């Protein structure tokens, strides 16, 4: 129905973006695009319900962002991993990722964004 069509549209758009980032990673700069590619792949695997692969790719995106000193993208990868674990019923595990995202957003200077994560941290402690 309409929700399914809308979901399919966004998944198709995500795959197109992932493919473009993959080309940029291969042709232009692995250093600059690797973490982005891992994150898009993680989201794709999450949507496809391949949770084991998604988990591996979220961690790869975080690690790549960290090693290339992309603090903002490390924060985003941690936040999305936190949502992944929350949505897959692993609330306790999500706390680690939301905490890391909170720390990295603050380090980057995005204090207001960091504060939006407090609800997930507070909620996860219940």
The mean pLDDT of 71-77, rounded to a whole number, is 98
Residues 104-115 have pLDDT tens digits of 999 999 999 999
Number of C-alpha atoms within 13 angstroms, CB side, residue 12?
Answer: 6
Confidence of residue 126 (pLDDT cuts 50, 70, 90): very low
**Percentage of the chain with pLDDT > 90?**
67
Residue 1 has pLDDT above 80, yes or no: no
Are 110 and 74 in contact by the 8 Å Cβ rule? The answer is no
Statement: residue 99 has pLDDT above 50: yes
**For the whole prediction, is pTM greater than 0.95?**
no
Tokens representing 66? 């960290």
φ, ψ at 28 (rounded to 5°): -105, -65
pLDDT, tens digit (0-9, with 9 covering 90-100), for 27-68: 888 888 999 999 999 999 999 999 999 999 999 999 999 999
Task: Identify which has the larger pLDDT, 18 or 71.
Answer: 71
* Beta carbons of 69 and 57 less than 8 angstroms apart: no
Q: What pLDDT is stored for residue 90 in this prediction?
A: 95
Judge contact between 28 and 36, C-beta under 8 A. no
The pLDDT of 86-91, averaged and rounded, is 95
Cα–Cα distance measured from residue 64 to residue 13, given in angstroms and rounded to the nearest whole number: 24
Q: Is the per-residue pLDDT at 74 higher than 80?
A: yes
């Amino acid at each position: 129905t309409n929700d399914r069509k809308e979901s399919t549209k966004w998944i198709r758009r995500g795959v197109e973006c992932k493919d473009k980032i993959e080309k940029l990673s291969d042709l232009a700069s692995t250093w600059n695009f690797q973490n982005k590619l891992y994150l898009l792949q993680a989201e794709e695997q999450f949507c496809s319900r391949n949770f084991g692969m998604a988990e591996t790719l979220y961690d790869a995106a975080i690690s790549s962002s960290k090693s290339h000193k992309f603090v903002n993208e490390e924060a985003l990868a941690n936040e999305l991993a936190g949502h992944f674990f929350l949505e897959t019923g692993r609330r306790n595990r999500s706390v680690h990722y939301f905490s890391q995202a909170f720390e990295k957003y603050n380090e980057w200077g995005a204090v207001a964004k960091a504060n939006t994560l407090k609800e997930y941290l507070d909620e996860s402690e219940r």
